[in-house]
Amino acid sequence: MRQKGSHVVLRRQSANSEGGDTSVTCVVPLHRRDLVVGTLGSALRQAGIDVETFIDVL
């Protein structure tokens, strides 16, 4: 995790099916107000998480 200004850059490493490592990067704004629906959707797409899974873990 790193932060540049008002945005946080998150990175997750995971093993892929071929035995190598794959990293997923997701940039999320860190503001004092609520996220706009489109911004949340973009963050979920970057993270590779579908909406149903996100709602289940809330």
**Does 3.30.920 match the CATH number of domain 2-57?**
yes
CB–CB of 20/14 below 8 Å? no
pLDDT at residue number 47? 86
d(C-alpha 50, C-alpha 1), whole Å: 22
Residue 9 has pLDDT above 80, yes or no: yes
Per-residue pLDDT tens for 11-39?
Answer: 888 777 677 778 888 888 988 888 899 99
Greater confidence (57 vs 22) lies with: 57
What is the residue extent of each domain of the chain?
2-57
CB–CB of 46/24 below 8 Å? yes
Q: Which pLDDT band holds residue 4 (cuts at 50, 70, 90)?
A: confident
